[in-house]
Homo-oligomer: A and B are copies of this chain.
Protein backbone atom coordinates (compact mmCIF):
# COMPACT_ATOMS: atom_id res chain seq x y z
CA UNK A 1 0.00 0.00 0.00
CA UNK A 2 1.30 3.43 -0.90
CA UNK A 3 1.09 5.85 2.01
CA UNK A 4 3.01 8.70 0.43
CA UNK A 5 0.03 10.01 -1.49
CA UNK A 6 -2.05 10.04 1.67
CA UNK A 7 -0.13 12.57 3.72
CA UNK A 8 -0.89 16.28 3.99
CA UNK A 9 1.38 18.91 2.50
CA UNK A 10 2.50 19.96 5.97
CA UNK A 11 4.23 16.61 6.47
CA UNK A 12 6.63 17.51 3.69
CA UNK A 13 8.03 20.20 5.99
CA UNK A 14 8.28 18.08 9.14
CA UNK A 15 11.80 17.45 10.28
CA UNK A 16 13.10 15.32 13.09
CA UNK A 17 14.76 16.75 16.17
CA UNK A 18 18.42 15.69 15.99
CA UNK A 19 18.45 15.96 19.79
CA UNK A 20 15.62 13.45 20.18
CA UNK A 21 17.27 11.21 17.56
CA UNK A 22 20.45 11.19 19.67
CA UNK A 23 18.42 10.06 22.67
CA UNK A 24 16.89 7.19 20.73
CA UNK A 25 20.34 5.82 19.93
CA UNK A 26 22.33 6.18 23.13
CA UNK A 27 21.90 5.47 26.80
CA UNK A 28 22.36 8.88 28.41
CA UNK A 29 23.90 7.31 31.48
CA UNK A 30 26.52 5.38 29.51
CA UNK A 31 28.10 8.50 28.00
CA UNK A 32 28.98 12.03 29.04
CA UNK A 33 25.97 13.90 27.69
CA UNK A 34 26.00 17.65 27.23
CA UNK A 35 23.34 17.16 24.56
CA UNK A 36 19.87 17.42 26.14
CA UNK A 37 18.09 20.24 27.85
CA UNK A 38 17.28 17.95 30.74
CA UNK A 39 17.06 19.27 34.28
CA UNK A 40 19.04 17.36 36.85
CA UNK A 41 16.87 14.60 38.32
CA UNK A 42 18.40 15.59 41.69
CA UNK A 43 16.22 18.69 41.62
CA UNK A 44 12.94 16.75 41.67
CA UNK A 45 11.75 16.74 45.31
CA UNK A 46 10.40 13.21 45.29
CA UNK A 47 9.15 13.02 48.86
CA UNK A 48 7.47 16.40 48.69
CA UNK A 49 5.84 15.43 45.39
CA UNK A 50 4.61 12.19 46.96
CA UNK A 51 3.11 14.16 49.86
CA UNK A 52 1.54 16.76 47.56
CA UNK A 53 -0.03 14.01 45.46
CA UNK A 54 -1.62 12.51 48.52
CA UNK A 55 -2.86 15.93 49.60
CA UNK A 56 -4.43 16.46 46.17
CA UNK A 57 -6.26 13.13 46.42
CA UNK A 58 -7.53 14.05 49.92
CA UNK A 59 -8.55 17.54 48.90
CA UNK A 60 -10.15 16.97 45.49
CA UNK A 61 -11.04 13.27 45.42
CA UNK A 62 -12.45 12.10 42.10
CA UNK A 63 -12.40 15.63 40.69
CA UNK A 64 -8.61 15.35 40.35
CA UNK A 65 -9.08 12.51 37.85
CA UNK A 66 -12.08 13.85 35.94
CA UNK A 67 -12.08 15.96 32.76
CA UNK A 68 -11.20 19.57 33.47
CA UNK A 69 -11.70 23.01 31.97
CA UNK A 70 -9.96 23.64 28.64
CA UNK A 71 -8.25 26.76 30.05
CA UNK A 72 -6.82 24.76 32.94
CA UNK A 73 -8.11 24.16 36.47
CA UNK A 74 -8.95 27.44 38.26
CA UNK A 75 -6.55 26.73 41.13
CA UNK A 76 -3.53 26.58 38.79
CA UNK A 77 -4.61 29.54 36.69
CA UNK A 78 -4.93 31.59 39.87
CA UNK A 79 -1.55 30.46 41.17
CA UNK A 80 0.15 31.29 37.86
CA UNK A 81 -1.62 34.65 37.67
CA UNK A 82 -0.41 35.56 41.15
CA UNK A 83 3.13 34.54 40.26
CA UNK A 84 3.09 36.54 37.03
CA UNK A 85 1.25 39.55 38.44
CA UNK A 86 -1.76 39.23 36.18
CA UNK A 87 -5.39 38.06 36.25
CA UNK A 88 -6.45 34.38 35.96
CA UNK A 89 -8.50 35.35 32.91
CA UNK A 90 -5.21 36.13 31.11
CA UNK A 91 -3.83 32.62 31.73
CA UNK A 92 -4.20 29.53 29.55
CA UNK A 93 -2.58 26.38 30.96
CA UNK A 94 -0.90 24.29 28.27
CA UNK A 95 0.14 20.64 28.05
CA UNK A 96 3.83 21.73 27.90
CA UNK A 97 5.30 25.01 26.72
CA UNK A 98 6.14 23.24 23.45
CA UNK A 99 2.37 23.10 22.97
CA UNK A 100 2.34 26.83 23.63
CA UNK A 101 4.70 27.38 20.71
CA UNK A 102 2.74 25.03 18.50
CA UNK A 103 -0.68 26.47 19.22
CA UNK A 104 0.55 30.06 18.69
CA UNK A 105 1.96 29.06 15.32
CA UNK A 106 -1.26 27.25 14.45
CA UNK A 107 -3.51 30.23 15.14
CA UNK A 108 -1.19 32.79 13.54
CA UNK A 109 0.66 31.29 10.59
CA UNK A 110 -0.45 30.39 7.08
CA UNK A 111 2.00 28.66 4.72
CA UNK A 112 4.51 31.23 3.48
CA UNK A 113 4.00 33.69 6.33
CA UNK A 114 7.22 34.98 7.82
CA UNK A 115 8.29 34.13 11.36
CA UNK A 116 11.32 36.04 12.56
CA UNK A 117 13.56 34.40 15.11
CA UNK A 118 16.90 34.92 16.72
CA UNK A 119 19.70 32.99 15.07
CA UNK A 120 20.53 30.50 16.55
CA UNK A 121 17.15 29.57 18.05
CA UNK A 122 15.32 26.80 19.90
CA UNK A 123 15.08 23.70 17.75
CA UNK A 124 11.59 22.65 18.87
CA UNK A 125 10.30 26.05 17.82
CA UNK A 126 11.93 25.77 14.40
CA UNK A 127 10.31 22.34 14.04
CA UNK A 128 6.91 23.76 14.84
CA UNK A 129 7.24 26.82 12.55
CA UNK A 130 8.42 24.65 9.66
CA UNK A 131 5.68 22.12 10.23
CA UNK A 132 3.16 24.87 9.37
CA UNK A 133 5.31 25.84 6.38
CA UNK A 134 6.28 29.21 7.83
CA UNK A 135 9.05 31.12 6.08
CA UNK A 136 11.47 31.22 9.02
CA UNK A 137 14.05 34.02 8.94
CA UNK A 138 16.90 34.20 11.40
CA UNK A 139 18.21 37.45 12.84
CA UNK A 140 21.79 37.71 14.03
CA UNK A 141 22.28 39.27 17.41
CA UNK A 142 24.94 41.94 17.85
CA UNK A 143 26.16 43.48 21.07
CA UNK A 144 26.02 46.79 19.19
CA UNK A 145 22.34 47.68 19.53
CA UNK A 146 22.34 49.78 16.35
CA UNK A 147 23.59 46.85 14.33
CA UNK A 148 21.07 44.57 16.03
CA UNK A 149 18.25 47.06 15.29
CA UNK A 150 19.28 47.24 11.63
CA UNK A 151 19.33 43.42 11.43
CA UNK A 152 15.78 43.19 12.76
CA UNK A 153 14.45 46.06 10.64
CA UNK A 154 16.07 44.73 7.53
CA UNK A 155 14.53 41.28 8.11
CA UNK A 156 11.06 42.81 8.59
CA UNK A 157 11.36 45.16 5.62
CA UNK A 158 12.73 42.60 3.21
CA UNK A 159 9.74 40.37 4.00
CA UNK A 160 7.39 43.25 3.27
CA UNK A 161 9.24 44.07 0.03
CA UNK A 162 8.61 40.47 -1.05
CA UNK A 163 4.90 40.93 -0.38
CA UNK A 164 4.96 38.67 2.66
CA UNK A 165 3.37 39.14 6.05
CA UNK A 166 5.53 38.98 9.16
CA UNK A 167 3.33 37.23 11.69
CA UNK A 168 5.55 37.29 14.74
CA UNK A 169 9.03 37.49 16.16
CA UNK A 170 9.90 34.46 18.29
CA UNK A 171 12.39 35.26 21.00
CA UNK A 172 13.81 33.75 24.20
CA UNK A 173 14.98 36.90 26.00
CA UNK A 174 16.34 35.15 29.10
CA UNK A 175 19.32 32.75 28.90
CA UNK A 176 18.50 31.80 25.38
CA UNK A 177 18.47 28.25 24.07
CA UNK A 178 21.06 27.54 22.66
CA UNK A 179 23.27 30.59 23.21
CA UNK A 180 22.67 31.25 26.91
CA UNK A 181 22.48 34.98 26.17
CA UNK A 182 20.06 37.47 27.76
CA UNK A 183 18.61 40.56 26.08
CA UNK A 184 19.07 43.91 27.81
CA UNK A 185 16.06 46.07 28.68
CA UNK A 186 17.07 48.43 25.88
CA UNK A 187 17.12 45.57 23.37
CA UNK A 188 13.69 44.36 24.51
CA UNK A 189 12.23 47.84 24.10
CA UNK A 190 13.83 48.18 20.70
CA UNK A 191 12.29 44.89 19.52
CA UNK A 192 8.86 45.95 20.76
CA UNK A 193 9.17 49.27 18.95
CA UNK A 194 9.95 47.54 15.67
CA UNK A 195 7.05 45.12 16.20
CA UNK A 196 4.78 48.14 16.70
CA UNK A 197 6.15 49.92 13.63
CA UNK A 198 5.60 46.88 11.43
CA UNK A 199 2.53 45.66 13.34
CA UNK A 200 3.60 42.11 14.09
CA UNK A 201 3.32 40.17 17.35
CA UNK A 202 6.09 38.90 19.61
CA UNK A 203 6.12 35.41 21.08
CA UNK A 204 8.28 35.55 24.21
CA UNK A 205 9.38 32.08 25.23
CA UNK A 206 10.56 32.17 28.83
CA UNK A 207 11.15 28.64 30.14
CA UNK A 208 14.45 29.54 31.83
CA UNK A 209 13.48 32.99 33.11
CA UNK A 210 13.46 32.03 36.79
CA UNK A 211 16.78 30.19 36.61
CA UNK A 212 19.04 33.20 37.18
CA UNK A 213 22.41 32.59 38.89
CA UNK A 214 23.96 36.05 38.67
CA UNK A 215 23.15 39.58 37.46
CA UNK A 216 19.82 41.38 37.68
CA UNK A 217 16.40 40.27 36.42
CA UNK A 218 15.28 42.17 33.32
CA UNK A 219 11.59 43.01 32.83
CA UNK A 220 9.72 40.52 30.68
CA UNK A 221 8.69 41.69 27.24
CA UNK A 222 5.11 40.79 28.13
CA UNK A 223 5.13 43.22 31.04
CA UNK A 224 6.43 45.93 28.69
CA UNK A 225 3.78 45.36 26.01
CA UNK A 226 1.02 42.98 27.13
CA UNK A 227 -1.12 43.67 24.04
CA UNK A 228 1.64 42.86 21.59
CA UNK A 229 3.49 40.03 23.35
CA UNK A 230 2.40 36.43 23.89
CA UNK A 231 4.29 35.06 26.88
CA UNK A 232 5.05 31.33 27.20
CA UNK A 233 5.92 29.91 30.59
CA UNK A 234 6.93 26.40 31.61
CA UNK A 235 6.92 24.21 34.69
CA UNK A 236 9.56 21.94 33.13
CA UNK A 237 12.57 23.80 34.47
CA UNK A 238 11.19 25.18 37.74
CA UNK A 239 9.35 22.01 38.79
CA UNK A 240 9.61 18.89 36.60
CA UNK A 241 9.25 18.24 32.86
CA UNK A 242 7.51 14.89 33.41
CA UNK A 243 4.30 16.77 34.19
CA UNK A 244 4.19 18.48 30.77
CA UNK A 245 2.70 21.74 31.99
CA UNK A 246 3.18 25.29 30.83
CA UNK A 247 1.17 28.47 30.48
CA UNK A 248 0.37 31.26 28.06
CA UNK A 249 -0.27 34.89 28.96
CA UNK A 250 -1.81 36.92 26.14
CA UNK A 251 -4.43 39.43 25.18
CA UNK A 252 -7.97 38.00 25.60
CA UNK A 253 -8.65 38.04 21.84
CA UNK A 254 -5.58 35.89 21.22
CA UNK A 255 -6.28 33.69 24.23
CA UNK A 256 -9.79 33.04 22.95
CA UNK A 257 -8.48 31.59 19.66
CA UNK A 258 -5.98 29.49 21.60
CA UNK A 259 -8.79 28.24 23.84
CA UNK A 260 -10.97 27.12 20.94
CA UNK A 261 -7.98 25.52 19.23
CA UNK A 262 -7.01 23.67 22.40
CA UNK A 263 -10.49 22.11 22.62
CA UNK A 264 -9.78 20.16 19.45
CA UNK A 265 -6.09 19.58 20.26
CA UNK A 266 -6.56 17.70 23.53
CA UNK A 267 -9.66 19.04 25.35
CA UNK A 268 -7.75 20.08 28.48
CA UNK A 269 -4.33 19.80 30.15
CA UNK A 270 -3.64 16.84 32.50
CA UNK A 271 -5.90 17.52 35.48
CA UNK A 272 -4.19 15.69 38.34
CA UNK A 273 -0.81 17.13 37.36
CA UNK A 274 -2.28 20.62 37.39
CA UNK A 275 -3.58 20.22 40.93
CA UNK A 276 -0.18 18.95 42.07
CA UNK A 277 1.52 21.96 40.48
CA UNK A 278 -1.01 24.30 42.11
CA UNK A 279 -0.39 22.69 45.51
CA UNK A 280 3.34 23.08 45.00
CA UNK A 281 3.02 26.74 44.08
CA UNK A 282 0.52 27.71 46.78
CA UNK A 283 2.35 25.97 49.60
CA UNK A 284 5.68 27.64 48.79
CA UNK A 285 7.29 24.26 48.10
CA UNK A 286 7.96 25.15 44.50
CA UNK A 287 9.88 28.28 45.45
CA UNK A 288 11.82 26.55 48.20
CA UNK A 289 12.85 23.83 45.78
CA UNK A 290 13.62 26.36 43.06
CA UNK A 291 16.07 28.15 45.36
CA UNK A 292 17.94 24.87 45.84
CA UNK A 293 17.86 24.21 42.11
CA UNK A 294 19.30 27.64 41.38
CA UNK A 295 22.12 27.08 43.89
CA UNK A 296 22.92 23.72 42.33
CA UNK A 297 22.89 25.02 38.76
CA UNK A 298 24.95 28.08 39.66
CA UNK A 299 27.67 25.77 40.97
CA UNK A 300 27.44 23.65 37.83
CA UNK A 301 27.64 26.67 35.53
CA UNK A 302 30.65 27.98 37.44
CA UNK A 303 32.32 24.60 37.30
CA UNK A 304 31.76 24.29 33.57
CA UNK A 305 33.09 27.78 32.92
CA UNK A 306 36.23 27.08 34.92
CA UNK A 307 36.70 23.69 33.24
CA UNK A 308 36.39 25.27 29.80
CA UNK A 309 38.88 27.98 30.82
CA UNK A 310 41.31 25.35 32.02
CA UNK A 311 41.04 22.80 29.22
CA UNK A 312 39.90 24.30 25.90
CA UNK A 313 42.26 25.20 23.08
CA UNK A 314 42.91 28.93 22.74
CA UNK A 315 40.93 29.27 19.51
CA UNK A 316 37.65 28.10 21.05
CA UNK A 317 35.35 30.74 22.60
CA UNK A 318 32.10 30.42 24.53
CA UNK A 319 29.23 32.41 26.05
CA UNK A 320 29.00 33.14 29.80
CA UNK A 321 25.28 32.81 30.64
CA UNK A 322 23.77 34.41 33.73
CA UNK A 323 21.22 31.62 33.98
CA UNK A 324 19.46 28.82 32.14
CA UNK A 325 20.85 25.45 31.13
CA UNK A 326 23.19 26.05 28.20
CA UNK A 327 26.30 27.68 26.92
CA UNK A 328 27.45 27.90 23.34
CA UNK A 329 30.92 27.17 21.98
CA UNK A 330 32.39 28.59 18.81
CA UNK A 331 35.32 26.85 17.16
CA UNK A 332 37.44 28.37 14.38
CA UNK A 333 35.97 28.71 10.87
CA UNK A 334 36.27 25.45 8.99
CA UNK A 335 35.40 23.27 11.97
CA UNK A 336 32.30 21.15 11.33
CA UNK A 337 30.51 20.15 14.54
CA UNK A 338 28.21 17.69 12.75
CA UNK A 339 31.15 15.79 11.22
CA UNK A 340 33.03 15.87 14.51
CA UNK A 341 30.04 14.48 16.36
CA UNK A 342 30.59 10.84 15.42
CA UNK A 343 34.15 10.96 16.69
CA UNK A 344 33.01 12.55 19.95
CA UNK A 345 30.19 10.07 20.46
CA UNK A 346 32.38 7.04 19.87
CA UNK A 347 34.81 8.45 22.42
CA UNK A 348 31.85 8.74 24.81
CA UNK A 349 30.78 12.40 24.81
CA UNK A 350 27.65 13.96 23.29
CA UNK A 351 26.66 17.56 22.47
CA UNK A 352 24.32 19.19 19.95
CA UNK A 353 25.90 20.70 16.86
CA UNK A 354 24.97 24.38 16.69
CA UNK A 355 24.04 24.15 13.02
CA UNK A 356 20.67 22.60 13.92
CA UNK A 357 19.69 25.80 15.71
CA UNK A 358 20.20 27.97 12.63
CA UNK A 359 17.13 28.20 10.37
CA UNK A 360 19.38 27.97 7.30
CA UNK A 361 21.82 25.50 8.95
CA UNK A 362 24.59 27.67 7.55
CA UNK A 363 26.82 27.94 10.64
CA UNK A 364 28.93 24.83 11.12
CA UNK A 365 31.49 25.68 13.79
CA UNK A 366 29.39 25.87 16.96
CA UNK A 367 28.05 23.50 19.59
CA UNK A 368 25.62 23.72 22.48
CA UNK A 369 26.63 22.35 25.87
CA UNK A 370 24.16 21.68 28.67
CA UNK A 371 25.38 22.08 32.25
CA UNK A 372 22.29 21.08 34.26
CA UNK A 373 21.97 17.36 33.61
CA UNK A 374 25.22 15.68 34.67
CA UNK A 375 26.75 15.65 38.12
CA UNK A 376 30.03 17.43 38.79
CA UNK A 377 32.27 14.39 38.48
CA UNK A 378 30.87 13.45 35.10
CA UNK A 379 30.90 17.04 33.90
CA UNK A 380 34.56 17.25 34.84
CA UNK A 381 35.48 14.04 33.01
CA UNK A 382 33.26 14.92 30.04
CA UNK A 383 34.68 18.39 29.46
CA UNK A 384 38.25 17.09 29.75
CA UNK A 385 37.47 14.41 27.19
CA UNK A 386 35.77 16.86 24.82
CA UNK A 387 38.64 19.34 25.15
CA UNK A 388 41.21 16.64 24.41
CA UNK A 389 39.29 15.59 21.30
CA UNK A 390 38.91 19.20 20.16
CA UNK A 391 42.62 19.88 20.66
CA UNK A 392 43.48 16.85 18.56
CA UNK A 393 41.03 17.95 15.85
CA UNK A 394 41.96 21.63 15.80
CA UNK A 395 45.71 20.97 15.80
CA UNK A 396 45.45 18.33 13.07
CA UNK A 397 43.71 20.79 10.74
Write the residues of chain A forming the contact surface with B, with a CB cutoff of 8 angstroms.
Answer: 1, 3, 6-11, 14-17, 20, 23-24, 36, 38-39, 41-42, 44, 46, 49-50, 53-54, 57, 61-70, 95-96, 98-99, 101-102, 106-110, 113, 124, 127-128, 131-132, 167, 200-201, 227-228, 236, 240-244, 251, 253-254, 257, 260-261, 263-273
| A66 and B53 contact, CB distance less than 8 A | no
Given B57, B107, B272, which contacts A10 in the complex, CB threshold below 8 Å? B107
Select which of B9, B242, B268 is within 8 A of A64 by beta carbon.
B242
Bound-state CA distance A42–B61 (Å) is: 10
Give the residues in chain B near A99, CB-CB below 8 Å.
265-266
State whether B41 touches A240 (Cβ < 8 A): no
Q: In the bound complex, do residue A241 and residue B14 qualify as a contact, i.e. CB atoms below 8 Å apart? A: no
B251 to A3, Cβ gap below 8 A? yes
Question: By DSSP majority rule, is chain A's interface helix, strand, loop, or mixed?
Answer: helix
- 21 A-B pairs within 8 Å (CB atoms) are namely A1-B251, A3-B253, A6-B167, A8-B106, A14-B261, A16-B263, A38-B67, A41-B66, A44-B62, A46-B57, A46-B62, A66-B242, A96-B267, A99-B265, A131-B261, A131-B264, A243-B272, A244-B270, A244-B271, A270-B270, A273-B273
Given contact pairs A8-B132, A102-B264, A270-B270, enumerate 17 new A-B contacts (beta carbons under 8 Å): A1-B227, A10-B106, A11-B261, A38-B66, A44-B62, A44-B65, A44-B66, A46-B57, A46-B65, A49-B65, A65-B240, A67-B236, A99-B265, A99-B266, A131-B264, A242-B271, A244-B270
